[in-house]
C-alpha cells in the first residue's frame, strides 16, 4: 500500500497544532477575567502613629473564575462618608487568589488625625461609616500562561464599624465620641 506524503506530515504536526489551539483557547478564556467579589470581613487597628490611625481592613475576595488570578499591584483612592479623602493606597500584594475560593486580604488604610474629630462628630449615632474605593489593579491570570491585564478597574463601596475608629481614636484623643 502506498503512503501519502501529506498524511505523515499532518500526523507529525498534529500534536503541535493541538497544543497551539489549546493555548489560544485558554488565552481567550482567560482574557475574560471576571471581577472577584469583595466584602468586608473585619477591620482592626494596626497602629496608632504620628500621621493617624492605621487600620487593616480585612476583605474577603472570592475569585469566581475557573483559574487562579494574581493581584500584582493595586492603586486606589479611598473616601469615607463620601466626604473625607484618605491617603492613596499603593500596594503590591503579589498574591494568588485561587480559583473558586475565598481569600482574606489585608488592606492598610490610614485615617489622618486631622480628619478624625470631624468624622466622628458628624457620625454620632451611626453604627457604621461608609467608604468607597476607586482605582485600578494589575492582575495576572493563570500560573501556567501568565496572561496579564493592567489597569483593571476597581470601584467598591462598603461599610466599616464606627466602633473600630472610635476605639483607635481614644488612644490619642481621650474624649473621642
Assign domain 34-172 one CATH number from 3.40.1390.10, 3.40.50.1220, 3.40.50.300, 2.60.40.1820. Answer: 2.60.40.1820
Cα distances (Å, whole numbers) of residue 142 to 34, 92, 167:
13, 18, 41
Q: Please check the confidence at residue 142 and state whether its pLDDT lies above 60.
A: yes
CA Rg value for the chain: 24
Higher pLDDT, 140 or 128: 128
Look at 11-25, 109-123, 162-176 and tell me which has the smallest mean pLDDT: 11-25
Q: Please check the confidence at residue 158 and state whether its pLDDT lies above 80.
A: yes
Tell me the mean pLDDT in the region 122-130: 94
pLDDT-based confidence at 112, cuts 50/70/90?
Answer: very high
Q: Which residue has the cell 479623602?
A: 85
- Spatial separation of the C-alpha atoms in residues 85 and 169, rounded to whole Å: 18
Domain boundaries, the chain: 1-30, 34-172
HSE of 113 in the Cβ direction (CA atoms, 13 Å)? 11
- Average pLDDT of the residues of the chain: 78
C-alpha dihedral (11, 12, 14, 20), degrees to nearest 10 = 180
Per-residue pLDDT tens over the stretch 2-49: 555 554 444 444 444 343 343 333 444 445 667 777 777 887 888 888
Higher pLDDT, 1 or 163: 163
- Spatial separation of the C-alpha atoms in residues 110 and 51, rounded to whole Å: 8
Amino acid at each position: 500500500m502506498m503512503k501519502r506524503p501529506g498524511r505523515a506530515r499532518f500526523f507529525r504536526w498534529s500534536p503541535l497544532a493541538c497544543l497551539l489551539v489549546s493555548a489560544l483557547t485558554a488565552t481567550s478564556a482567560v482574557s475574560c477575567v471576571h471581577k472577584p467579589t469583595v466584602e468586608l470581613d473585619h477591620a482592626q487597628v494596626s497602629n496608632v502613629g504620628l500621621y493617624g490611625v492605621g487600620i487593616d481592613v480585612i476583605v474577603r475576595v472570592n475569585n469566581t473564575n475557573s483559574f487562579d488570578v494574581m493581584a500584582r499591584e493595586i492603586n486606589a483612592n479611598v473616601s469615607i462618608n463620601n466626604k473625607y479623602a484618605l491617603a492613596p493606597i499603593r500596594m503590591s500584594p503579589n498574591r494568588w487568589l485561587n480559583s473558586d475560593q475565598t481569600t482574606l486580604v489585608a488592606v492598610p488604610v490610614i485615617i489622618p488625625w486631622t480628619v478624625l474629630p470631624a468624622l466622628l462628630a458628624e457620625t454620632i449615632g451611626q453604627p457604621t461609616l461608609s467608604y468607597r474605593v476607586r482605582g485600578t489593579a494589575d492582575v495576572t491570570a493563570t500560573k501556567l500562561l501568565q496572561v496579564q491585564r493592567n489597569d483593571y478597574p476597581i470601584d467598591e463601596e462598603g461599610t466599616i464599624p464606627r466602633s473600630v475608629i472610635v476605639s483607635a481614636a481614644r488612644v490619642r484623643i481621650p474624649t473621642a465620641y
